[in-house]
Amino acid sequence: MYWTAKAQLGRKILTQANQDFTARLSHVAAEMESVLGAHLPAPKGHQSVIMDAMRYAALGGGKRLRPFLMIETARMLGYTDKGVYIAAAALECLHVYSLVHDDLPCMDDDDLRRGKPTVHKAYDEAIAVLAGDGLLTYAFELLAHKAVHPDPALRLGLVTDLAKAGGAHGMIGGQVIDITVSEIDRDEALITQLQDLKTGALIEYGVLAGAALAGASAEQTEALRGYARDIGLAFQIKDDILDVEGDANLVGKAVGKDENLGKATFVSILGLEVAREKAKDLGIRAKSHLETFGKDAETLCDTVDFVLERSH
Amino acid sequence: MYWTAKAQLGRKILTQANQDFTARLSHVAAEMESVLGAHLPAPKGHQSVIMDAMRYAALGGGKRLRPFLMIETARMLGYTDKGVYIAAAALECLHVYSLVHDDLPCMDDDDLRRGKPTVHKAYDEAIAVLAGDGLLTYAFELLAHKAVHPDPALRLGLVTDLAKAGGAHGMIGGQVIDITVSEIDRDEALITQLQDLKTGALIEYGVLAGAALAGASAEQTEALRGYARDIGLAFQIKDDILDVEGDANLVGKAVGKDENLGKATFVSILGLEVAREKAKDLGIRAKSHLETFGKDAETLCDTVDFVLERSH
């Protein structure tokens, strides 16, 4: 009886924590929507279509996971200055540009993104290329803004790190591997490297930019780097799992695509069960990096569960 | 006899100045080639094709006019620190990315650039999109580097200004107007605005970044802004003239294209003679802004002549 009650209480607490987390995630996503809406250039002049397309791509959807990680990492370390939201918006602009370009006919040729037509479908290819360019360029303008943080040297560090995370040795490099290395040459090591670059680099940037803004110590930064790497890879494995198991309506983009294309993914290489185990193990390891932060790390811990349990 | 001798001497001096200018332009172009070669990421890893394509696009050609303007503006003001070359390389990376994307099939669909196949012809469309993205991203990484200037706040200013010059209110905006506004709706005012954004913004950035690096006064900066605007527009009018009169072998890209496409240009709207006059007048006005710098402005003055007299 006692154990049953305790177990029920445990479940109840878990559910409460879950609700708190979901509310927090929604709250940050709503804030990000508002910050992006306020800061993205307003449609103006003979070129207003480009501001329209940039806003179309960036507003109205997305989990805002990268901004969330930045904001929550800073908050865990006691830093809640609203400048973090501006830096987070810059990161989101860079992430969104990569989606717009990845969706192009010459790349993944996707028609659907975040549940609505991709930019080249809603506008055209040229506008999609330029809207992506505009968002990438604007990310650096936002990040350099004094509203992000009073210290110019710190903002400059954020600029450098974002350029590295998004560049040929980071995200772009991952996309290049993804479109050029043939399926037959992909083993687990290559796919891991590909994902570390393509997805992991920006997730890590989110966490470490939050740490930098909050003035984290070198030791804290290293722990957070470990956390970011593990949650980033877990996120990608879960993405591959969702491509096999997911519902297109929930996922917001085509599913079963990797399998149809005969694409090598964590699921096709490891099998569904092993992939699930691996994601779970990475989740446990991600949380272990947070032990040093004690109870303050609750939201970042819950983010691991969210990443692994999400249906989209 | 005396007058003839004096006139001959005058021509000789002019020729000498011309030779000095040409030598200086070649010297800076060679330096830029070397700085770009040393700083652009070396091909490495499974994504080495992207570093290859970035180098293919950025190396081996181009007048390097924008870097030249930055370097010569700084030098006129007595500043010759080699950090200017790094900032100039960043500007060139941004300029080159814009060429790579403008040449894409969904935009201007050009096969030839700087006398060699465009990036999407030499590689493919996806690599061209990503190489452009890589160069744009790398421009900000370079510009933020401490080798540019010891003051982080100054470097941050350069980052902000480059993002603005290259963004939706700058160069990208100009390209959008160019591909979306129908020929029939283009008058001289619209084409001037289009070119101010598409070409002028980066030329102005080159001059003003040189001024900022050299610690120019507000008054000097304003004079240089006037110079940059006039030389930028003169440059574009000359480009339109070359499209009608030029030799494809010298110009390094297709000529007669605007006319074949029925494109509204300064030449089609003003006529060849009036366009030539306008470019000449802008050249005179550009030089008048330099009077305050006296003899030190010789190279920037010669640059005006070069822009107007070039055959490519």
Q: What is the pLDDT of residues B154-182, one digit of tens each?
A: 999 999 999 999 999 999 999 999 999 98
**Cα distance between residue A186 and residue A210, in whole Å:** 33
Torsion sign (Cα): B211, B212, B214, B215: positive
Q: Do the chains contact at B179 and A107, CB–CB below 8 Å?
A: no
**Out of B47, B126, B167, whose CB is closest to A137?**
B167
Write down the pLDDT at residue A7. 44
**Cα distance between residue A296 and residue A187, in whole Å:** 38
CA A280 centroid distance within chain: 19
Q: Do the chains contact at A101 and B179, CB–CB below 8 Å?
A: no
Identify the closest residue of chain A to B179 by CA–CA distance: A126
Write down the pLDDT at residue B101. 98
Write down the pLDDT at residue A184. 87
**Out of A51, A134, A140, whose CB is closest to B140?**
A140
Q: Output DSSP code: residue B279.
A: H
Q: Give how far B111 is from chain A: nearest CA, Å.
A: 17
Q: Do the chains contact at A137 and B163, CB–CB below 8 Å?
A: yes
**Cα distance between residue A196 and residue B45, in whole Å:** 13
Q: Do the chains contact at B156 and A160, CB–CB below 8 Å?
A: no
List the beta strands (DSSP E) in chain B: 112-113, 116-117
pTM of the model: 0.92
Write down the pLDDT at residue A139. 98
Q: Which three-class secondary structure string do you get for A223-286?
A: HHHHHHHHHHHHHHHHHHHHHHHCCHHHHCCCCCHHHHCCCCCHHHHHCHHHHHHHHHHHHHHH
Q: Do the chains contact at B176 and A50, CB–CB below 8 Å?
A: yes
On whether residue A115 sits in a domain, the answer given is: yes
Q: Do the chains contact at B107 and A101, CB–CB below 8 Å?
A: no
**Cα distance between residue B92 and residue B37, in whole Å:** 12
CATH of the domain at A30: 1.10.600.10
Q: Do the chains contact at B125 and A106, CB–CB below 8 Å?
A: yes
Q: Do the chains contact at A134 and B107, CB–CB below 8 Å?
A: no
**Crossing angle between the packed helical segments A83-102 and A125-143, to the nearest 10 degrees:** 160
**Crossing angle between the packed helical segments A2-39 and A65-76, to the nearest 10 degrees:** 110
B-chain CB neighbours of A47 within 8 Å are 168, 172-174, 176-177, 180, 197
Q: Do the chains contact at A155 and B156, CB–CB below 8 Å?
A: yes
Q: Do the chains contact at A180 and B124, CB–CB below 8 Å?
A: no
Q: Give how far A42 is from chain B: nearest CA, Å.
A: 10
Compute φ and ψ for A81, nearest 5 degrees.
-55, 140
Q: Do the chains contact at B133 and A136, CB–CB below 8 Å?
A: yes
A-chain CB neighbours of B107 within 8 Å are 126, 129
Q: Give how far A99 is from chain B: nearest CA, Å.
A: 12
Q: Output DSSP code: residue B106.
A: T
**One pLDDT digit (tens) per residue for chain A, 312 residues:** 344 444 454 445 556 777 899 999 999 999 999 999 999 999 999 999 999 999 999 999 789 999 999 999 999 999 999 999 999 999 999 999 999 999 999 999 999 998 899 999 999 999 999 999 999 999 999 999 999 999 999 999 999 999 999 999 999 999 999 999 988 889 999 999 999 999 999 999 999 999 999 999 999 999 999 999 999 999 999 999 998 887 666 555 666 666 666 788 999 999 999 999 999 999 999 999 999 999 999 999 999 999 999 887
Identify the closest residue of chain A to B103 by CA–CA distance: A126
**Tokens for A6?**
């305790």
Longest alpha-carbon distance in chain A = 72
Write down the pLDDT at residue B252. 59
The amino acid at B40: L
**Tokens for A81?**
């200055």
Compute φ and ψ for B117, nearest 5 degrees.
-55, 140
A-chain CB neighbours of B181 within 8 Å are 46
Identify the closest residue of chain B to A120 by CA–CA distance: B106
Summarised one tens digit per residue, pLDDT across range B15-28 is 677 789 999 999 99
Q: Output DSSP code: residue A215.
A: T
Of B83, B129, B86, B85, the C-alpha closest to B105 is B129
On whether residue A245 sits in a domain, the answer given is: yes
Identify the closest residue of chain B to A101 by CA–CA distance: B129
On whether residue A6 sits in a domain, the answer given is: no
SS3 at position B162: helix
Mutate to test the interface with A, among B106, B121, B135, B184 (most CBs of A within 10 A): B106
**Cα distance between residue A104 and residue A99, in whole Å:** 9
SS3 content of chain B, % helix, strand, coil (to 5): 75, 0, 25
B-chain CB neighbours of A106 within 8 Å are 124-126, 129
Q: Output DSSP code: residue A198.
A: I
Q: Give how far B102 is from chain A: nearest CA, Å.
A: 9
Summarised one tens digit per residue, pLDDT across range B246-277 is 766 655 566 666 666 678 899 999 999 999 99
Q: Do the chains contact at A46 and B181, CB–CB below 8 Å?
A: yes
Distances (CA, A) of B190 to A51, A127, A170, B23, B198: 19, 20, 40, 37, 12
Q: Give how far A172 is from chain B: nearest CA, Å.
A: 7
Residues 6 or more apart whose Cβ sits within 8 Å of residue B80: B74
Please list the alpha-helical segments (H only) found in A167-217: 171-180, 188-195, 201-213
Question: Ramachandran region of residue B16, left (φ > 0), alpha (ψ -120 to 50) or beta?
Answer: alpha
**Cα distance between residue B245 and residue B9, in whole Å:** 32
Mutate to test the interface with B, among A101, A130, A145 (most CBs of B within 10 A): A130
Q: Do the chains contact at A156 and B160, CB–CB below 8 Å?
A: no
Write down the pLDDT at residue B6. 45
* pLDDT tops 70 at residue B9: no
B-chain CB neighbours of A130 within 8 Å are 101, 172, 175-176
Burial class (CB in 10 A: 0-12, 13-18, 19+), B222: middle
On whether residue A263 sits in a domain, the answer given is: yes
Q: Do the chains contact at A129 and B144, CB–CB below 8 Å?
A: no
On whether residue A50 sits in a domain, the answer given is: yes
On whether residue A2 sits in a domain, the answer given is: no
Of B198, B249, B286, B66, the C-alpha closest to A50 is B198
Q: Do the chains contact at A193 and B46, CB–CB below 8 Å?
A: yes
Write down the pLDDT at residue B247. 64
CB B29 within 8 A of CB B63: yes
Write down the pLDDT at residue B15. 65
Q: Output DSSP code: residue B147.
A: T
Mutate to test the interface with A, among B39, B40, B46 (most CBs of A within 10 A): B46
The mean pLDDT value for B186-193 works out to 94
Of A194, A226, A192, A193, the C-alpha closest to A211 is A226
Look-up: residue for tokens 């790497």? A229
> Where is pLDDT greater, at B7 or B74?
B74
**Tokens for A13?**
């607490």
On whether residue A217 sits in a domain, the answer given is: yes
On whether residue A1 sits in a domain, the answer given is: no
Range of the domain at A18: 11-309
Q: Give how far B306 is from chain A: nearest CA, Å.
A: 31
Look-up: residue for tokens 């959008």? B176
Mutate to test the interface with B, among A86, A137, A143, A162 (most CBs of B within 10 A): A137
**Cα distance between residue B228 and residue B300, in whole Å:** 10
Q: Do the chains contact at B46 and A177, CB–CB below 8 Å?
A: yes
SS3 at position B112: strand
CB B264 within 8 A of CB B30: no
Look-up: residue for tokens 């099939």? B105
Q: Do the chains contact at B173 and A50, CB–CB below 8 Å?
A: yes
Write down the pLDDT at residue B10. 46
Total tally of structural domains belonging to chain A: 1
Q: Give how far B227 is from chain A: nearest CA, Å.
A: 25
Summarised one tens digit per residue, pLDDT across range B274-292 is 999 999 999 999 999 999 9
- Cβ neighbours around A86 below 10 Å, total: 19
